[in-house]
């Protein structure tokens, strides 16, 4: 630092100074000129020092301390380190100094203002009632939920959409048929309206207790299973107000971030299948988005040593496990083998191969396994990759695995030959080991248990009549006629199981033992829970043969449901189909709206509604388009209104 003050200021006279105490005047008189000069020098040095200190040395306010909490704001302008003795303390130097001071001031003011505001708000809050405070909290919560939903609605990238044919219409062109079709539509409205009134948002309806109902397959949450399952039926019946109502509920309420353990299979066939079908039919993006969100939540179920998924998964934690009753911790063939259709569509719509890879991995693993008598056992352990108990059935536990092999081939526009081969091999083994004719001439499908054929057929196995007919075209060695015949025989047997009851509704399972044919023996097998399989088979038979008997049988079933299952607030299953005074189980199953009523409606519609060369129905009757790859377009779905 220069010291200009040490030089005598030109033109200015420095007055003589009185430096001594006034009590010693003689000293003043005695000072010599040289001494005066030295004193003057010291004095000017002192003044210079003070002057310099005042103008040039940094004052204490220039040595600022900053908490690390302000780092983000200040560090880019700070020469950290120089002169910094304490960690976390920085000295500011240089030309930005002024700006830093302003910045610091601004932050202080802001903090002060925030504190004051918070204090004011707290004071205000204390003046409010509990209800007002609650209402405010709720509004804030809703705001957050709304923001999350807006984010969720981000559209997926556009992909070619199959040209969709026959999404509505289907006038049968005959008054009697029109009336029947209208009656089925009225039944659908009765089921839907009562669910809307008494069970809205719950998974299912208790039509007698007039309240919601659920089972463990849907977990502990209200996931609106009936809404999702029913959407496409509402759509094809032209119940568009009801459809929009369901859509709104899904938009605003269907949330998969719940701490709830659900069945992977059931959620896939009912929810993902239902949402995908609703998307294809209506073109509404929200259904696709929800389907993909849900599918992501199911993926952790595949984290097993073999890649065979657990039966159940917790949607929040992703932890999976198997049903306690399933052969020493096994997964079930009809569950892990009934994912293919939906997962292929998910990969198609998202462009993400992850879903396709999961189901193809399952297929490859099954192909490598030994099969006793060429049959697939129902249980497979996902830890060891070994079969569990040797039990094979085309009814419960096995059924839709075979169905999805055939449908994978159909859905691929008949290009997935591997799936077709697996289907053909499996059906040949089933015919050889499981299908028999009773003494009375009824063809039935039994169950194979540890080397022994149980002559018992479940209601669920009745779907196979439709499957044989659907697979007839394209079968090996041109056995189409044979499979049409086999399908017709199964339809007849299942019709017999209905016809031999008091209510004209079929039991859960029926025996072929000695004199007993197509009749349930045990009390626990006498119930009918609004299941679709027999009507499903009638519909396929109708489509492929146009034999009027299938419409007649379908109508018989519709009348019996109307007479014995309809109650004032919906439809209920019955506990004993052999008792002429039915006892209701008080459950309106979601599949009644998804499948039973849909197949009945299609049975009385013309074939151009959802034609089978363009649509393949998943196992919950949700139609998914055939992926004819040459027949797709990037433009919007022509079905979008
Ligand atoms: C439906 O959920 C599906 O059809 C499934 O494949 C098995 N059966 C029920 C209805 O009976």
Tell me the pLDDT tens digit for each residue of 90-140: 233 344 567 777 877 888 887 888 888 777 777 776 777 777 777 777 666
- Is 404 near ligand 1, meaning CB less than 6 Å away? no
Residue 113 to residue 124: CA distance in whole angstroms: 16
DSSP state of 624: E
Tell me: pLDDT of 347 over 70: yes
Residue-level pLDDT at 545: 98
Residue predicted with more confidence, 609 or 90: 609
- Is 407 near ligand 1, meaning CB less than 6 Å away? no
- At which residue do the structure tokens 């208790």 appear? 206
Residue 299 to residue 625: CA distance in whole angstroms: 23
DSSP result, 255-270: ---SS-EEEHHHIIII
Residue 400 to residue 458: CA distance in whole angstroms: 13
Residue 298 to residue 301: CA distance in whole angstroms: 6
Average per-residue pLDDT in the chain?
Answer: 85
Residue-level pLDDT at 120: 78
- Highest mean pLDDT: which of 54-68, 159-173, 280-294? 280-294
- Is 493 near ligand 1, meaning CB less than 6 Å away? no
Residue with CA nearest ligand 1 atom 8? 460
Asked if 312 and 264 count as a contact pair (C-beta separation under 8 A), the reply is yes
Residue predicted with more confidence, 515 or 595: 595
Percentage helix, strand, coil for the chain under 3-state DSSP, each rounded to 5: 55, 10, 40
Domain covering 191-633 assigned CATH 1.50.10.10 in the classification: yes
Active site residues: 266, 399, 508, 533
- Is 271 near ligand 1, meaning CB less than 6 Å away? no
Give 620 Cα–ligand 1 centroid separation in angstroms: 6
**pLDDT (tens digit, 9 = 90+) per residue, 207-256?**
999 999 999 999 999 999 999 999 999 999 999 999 999 999 999 999 99
Residue-level pLDDT at 153: 52
Residue-level pLDDT at 97: 66
Q: Which of 532, 557, 590, 599 to mutate to test the pocket of ligand 1 (most atoms within 8 A of CB)?
A: 532
- Rounded to an integer, the average pLDDT of 309-338 is 97
Residue 328 to residue 331: CA distance in whole angstroms: 9
Tell me: pLDDT of 378 over 90: yes
**pLDDT (tens digit, 9 = 90+) per residue, 454-465?**
999 999 999 999
CB environment 46-82: b (16+ within 10 A), e (fewer)? eebeeeeeeeeeeeeeeebebeeeeeeebeebbeeee
Say how many C-beta atoms besides its own lie within 10 A of residue 621's C-beta. Answer: 25
Q: Which of 398, 407, 459, 619 to mutate to test the pocket of ligand 1 (most atoms within 8 A of CB)?
A: 619
Domain spans of the chain? 191-633
Residue-level pLDDT at 165: 94
Ligand 1 atom closest to the CA of 463, numbered from 1: 4
Percent of the chain past pLDDT 70, that is, above it, reads 79
Give 640 Cα–ligand 1 centroid separation in angstroms: 29
Asked if 490 and 465 count as a contact pair (C-beta separation under 8 A), the reply is yes
Residue 623 to residue 615: CA distance in whole angstroms: 6
- Is 589 near ligand 1, meaning CB less than 6 Å away? no
Asked if 406 and 423 count as a contact pair (C-beta separation under 8 A), the reply is yes
Residue-level pLDDT at 12: 31
Lowest mean pLDDT among 56-70, 342-356, 555-569: 56-70
* Torsion angle defined by CA atoms of residues 185, 172, 533 and 542, in that order, rounded to the nearest 10 degrees: 170
Using DSSP's 3-state secondary structure scheme, residue 483 falls into helix
User: Cα dihedral sign for 278, 279, 283, 289?
Assistant: positive
Residue with CA nearest ligand 1 atom 1? 620
What residues contact 377, with CB distance under 8 A and at least 6 apart? 333, 371, 387, 388, 389, 390, 391, 392
Q: Which helix (H) or strand (E) element contains residue 349?
A: helix 340-350
């Amino acid at each position: 630092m220069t010291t200009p003050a040490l030089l005598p200021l030109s033109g200015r006279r420095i007055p003589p100074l009185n430096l001594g105490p006034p009590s010693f005047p003689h000293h003043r008189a005695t000072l010599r000129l040289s001494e005066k000069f030295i004193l003057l020098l010291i004095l000017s040095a002192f003044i210079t020092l003070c002057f310099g200190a005042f103008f040039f040395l940094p004052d204490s306010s220039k040595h600022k301390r900053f908490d690390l909490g302000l780092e983000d704001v200040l560090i880019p302008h700070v020469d950290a380190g120089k002169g910094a003795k304490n960690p976390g303390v920085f000295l500011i130097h240089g030309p930005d100094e002024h700006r830093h001071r302003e910045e610091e001031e601004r932050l202080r003011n802001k903090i002060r203002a925030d504190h004051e505001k918070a204090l004011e708000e707290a004071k205000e809050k204390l003046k409010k009632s509990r209800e007002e405070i609650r209402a405010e909290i709720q509004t804030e919560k809703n705001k957050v939920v709304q923001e999350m939903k807006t984010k969720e609605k981000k559209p997926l990238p556009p992909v070619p959409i199959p040209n969709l044919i026959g999404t509505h219409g289907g006038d049968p062109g005959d008054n009697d048929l029109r009336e029947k079709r209208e009656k089925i539509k009225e039944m659908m409205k009765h089921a839907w309206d009562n669910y809307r009134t008494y069970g809205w948002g719950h998974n299912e309806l208790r039509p007698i207790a007039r309240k919601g109902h659920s089972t463990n397959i849907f977990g502990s949450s209200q996931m609106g299973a009936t809404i999702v399952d029913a959407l496409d039926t509402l759509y094809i019946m032209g119940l568009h107000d009801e459809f929009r109502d369901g859509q709104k509920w899904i938009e605003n309420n269907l949330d998969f971030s719940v701490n709830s353990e659900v069945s992977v299979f059931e959620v896939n066939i009912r929810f993902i299948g239902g949402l995908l079908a609703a998307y294809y039919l209506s073109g509404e993006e929200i259904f696709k988005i929800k389907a993909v969100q849900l599918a992501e939540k199911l993926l952790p179920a595949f984290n097993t040593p073999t890649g065979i998924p657990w039966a159940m998964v917790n949607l929040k934690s992703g932890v999976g496990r198997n049903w306690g009753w399933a052969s020493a911790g096994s997964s079930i063939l009809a569950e892990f083998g009934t994912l293919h259709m939906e997962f292929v569509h998910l990969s198609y719509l998202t462009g993400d191969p992850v879903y396709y890879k999961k189901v193809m991995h399952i297929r490859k693993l099954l192909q490598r396994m030994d099969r006793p008598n060429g049959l697939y056992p129902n249980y497979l352990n996902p830890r060891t990759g070994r079969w569990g108990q040797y039990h094979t059935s085309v009814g419960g536990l096995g059924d839709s695995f075979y169905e999805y092999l055939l449908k994978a081939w159909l859905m691929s526009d008949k290009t997935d030959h591997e799936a077709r081969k697996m289907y053909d091999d499996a059906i040949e083994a089933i015919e050889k080991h499981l299908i028999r004719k009773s003494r009375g001439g009824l063809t039935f499908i039994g169950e194979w248990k540890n080397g022994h054929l149980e002559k018992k057929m479940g209601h669920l196995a009745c779907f196979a009549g439709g499957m044989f007919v659907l697979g007839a075209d394209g079968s090996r060695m041109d056995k189409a006629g044979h499979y049409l015949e086999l399908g017709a025989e199964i339809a007849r047997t299942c019709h017999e199981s209905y016809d031999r009851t008091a209510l004209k509704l079929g039991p859960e399972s029926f025996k072929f033992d000695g004199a007993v044919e197509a009749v349930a023996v045990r009390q626990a097998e006498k119930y009918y829970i609004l299941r679709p399989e027999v009507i499903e088979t009638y519909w396929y038979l109708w489509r492929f043969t146009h034999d009027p008997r299938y419409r007649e049988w379908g109508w018989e079933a519709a009348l019996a449901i109307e007479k014995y299952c309809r109650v004032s607030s919906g439809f209920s299953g019955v506990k004993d189909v052999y008792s002429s005074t039915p006892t209701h189980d008080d459950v309106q199953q979601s599949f009644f709206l998804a499948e039973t009523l849909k197949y009945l409606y299609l049975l009385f519609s013309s074939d151009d509604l959802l034609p089978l060369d363009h649509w393949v129905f998943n196992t919950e009757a949700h139609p998914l388009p055939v992926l004819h790859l040459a027949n797709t377009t990037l433009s919007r779905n022509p079905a979008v209104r």
